[in-house]
Amino acid sequence: MEAQRELELKGIGVSPGIVAGPVLLLKSDDVPLPEYAISAEGVPREMLRLEAALIETRRQLNEIQRRVGEAMGSESAGIFEAHLHVVDDPSFVDEIYRDVREKKKNIEKILFEVAERYAQTLLQMEDDYLRERATDIRDVTRRILRNLAGGGGDLLAGLESPRVLVSRNIAPSEMAAFDRRKILGVVTELGSPTSHTAIMARAMELPAIVGMPGICGRMADGDRVILDGVRGILVLHPSPSREEDYGRIARSRAVIQKRLSGLKEEEAVTRDGHAVVLSANIEMPADVDAVWERGARGIGLFRSEYLFMAEAGDPGEERQYKAYAEVARRIMPESVIIRTLDLGGDKIAVAGKIQEDANPFLGWRAIRLCLDRPAMFKAQLRAILRASAHNPKLRIMYPMISNVGEVDRANALLEECKAELSASGMAFNPAIEAGVMIEIPSAALTADLIAPKVKFFSIGTNDLVQYTLAVDRGNDRIAHLYEPTHPAVLQLIRHTVEAGRRHGIWTGVCGETAGNPVLVPLLLGLGVDELSTSPGAVPLVKDIIRHIRLSEAQDLAEAVRGLSTGAEILGRCRALVRRVAPEILELAE
């Protein structure tokens, strides 16, 4: 039989590793969705069916969380907190009950409709992490529907040898239930680096590629592939020479990874003695373990949104305080920066209803929403202040700042909260430091005006790039225009850092650029003081810091001043890394 032609396909590498083997196509595990009318008398029966399914779903999720925690640690188990929040969300259940009563339809149909409304709302979000929570809602909904229908089976039942799983999407609860011995790697049409499927793949140490639309239609069960989870490359029908090349690369990467694992206790210091604060970004308290395990020094960004999303609105002061205090205590003696709410009125219920926003990326969100809803904002500020009593290095950060007036108003509310807590005798750190995220060009350009009002800047490169270049990186047609090395972006970073130094405050970077070892020397050369990245990226970033001299990084930043394209600048960055630590490119690209 004639050999099939080799085909190289590109996606988004989200979990490192190289594997080769046959494909198993996982068909969509859609649950039948019956639709029929019910009488008014039948409404209580439908709600009883839902309650029974929710109880069983909660039991299953708790069991999955327990098993994942035992096998892979609390970072991975924490993923299922979001799933449990959906099951336990009273507003979600109330909305289902209301629709069943009003529309007189069976519970399966109404559950699906309400869940899809929630999912579609999340899909419109700007934040990648929160946008991916739509997958969690759909995952939980499928599980509830399966329980309404009497349960489901093992997707890998009968599989005799390990395969590369290829599917449109794989839910994290399905990933957790898979027998690791039967899986070589994972490829999906949907997903992003922040999806829970990607997180689970990394936790299970499964090479994975996501974001490959149409891939299921390009192959069949049993087709041989090579999966490169670093470069995001999938080779279909690989030639013998290609298999040999990838075998060599895999062996080389294994040696490098073993060395990186030994950097946990080492400091992030350049070869000429310049210390860099290398911290981690987290989503929820369960992620703190990963910060310590990866060798980060503190938390540079604690996103508080999950608490608000779980309640579809305001979680209240006490619930927030408990979460913030837990993180503050567990990260001691290191620091933690808590970002205030970075959602819009199109994502949470305000005054009992969802607020429509024609363009949520440029709309009523983050600090704008908080300043318009001072009672809700002050509850969060008080919760953060109270948590600061457990860690003197706890800091607060305002997102999406566009002008000085917003900082003044936020700081005034913070002072009001301090006065209220003092009057009530509650403990807090009166000297708590407040900073701002620089993610809108207007904030970067007026950094000299903002700096006297705050104690630090944290540059959110994800949004800064999008707002500066008018590029939605989630749009496949223009994603190639998303360039962190674009000269305009670098000028804004440089301007922010220099303004901070003139006013005696430090500047960090908490966007994805901070986790790219190829770009780290450039950031250090521009004068950035702190880098905060995902816990998994910490060892690689620490490694490149320890390989370079600050003087080399500064020379790089100066050399790219005169370059006119992002591609040229990226080329210079790669050249430096290739010269000082060529093995890092094996893992970074």
Tokens 């929630």 correspond to what residue? Answer: 118
CA distance 585 to 589: 6
Distances (CA, A) of 286 to 8, 309, 330: 38, 17, 10
Cα 310 from Cα 84, distance rounded (Å): 9
* Contact predicate 24/159, CB 8 Å: yes
Q: Report whether 395 contacts 435 (CB < 8 A).
A: yes
* 525 Cβ neighbours under 8 A, 6+ residues apart: 550, 552, 553, 554, 555, 556, 557, 558
Query: What is the Cα–Cα distance from 441 to 493, expressed in whole angstroms?
Result: 10
**441 preceded by cis ω (within 30°)?**
no
Which pair of structure tokens corresponds to residue 490?
């670098």
Dihedral sign computed on CA atoms, order 469, 473, 474, 477: positive
- Write phi, then psi, for 123 (nearest 5 degrees): -65, -20
- Residues annotated as catalytic (active site), given as ranges: 196, 510
Q: Helix (H, G, I), strand (E, B), or coil: what is residue 395?
A: strand
Strand pairing category for 277-282 and 233-236: unpaired
Q: How many CB atoms lie within 10 A of CB 46?
A: 23
SS3 breakdown of the chain: % helix, strand, coil, rounded to 5? 55, 15, 30
**Which residue, 125, 99, 209, 106, is CA-closest to 165?**
209
What tokens does 584 get? 């890092």
Cα-Cα-Cα-Cα dihedral sign, residues 484, 487, 490, 491: negative
| C-alpha to C-alpha distance for 449 and 29, rounded to whole angstroms | 55
d(CA 432, CA 415): 11
Residue 13: beta bridge partners? 209
Q: What is the largest CA-CA distance in the chain?
A: 84
Q: Is the dihedral of CA 271, 273, 275, 276 positive or negative?
A: negative
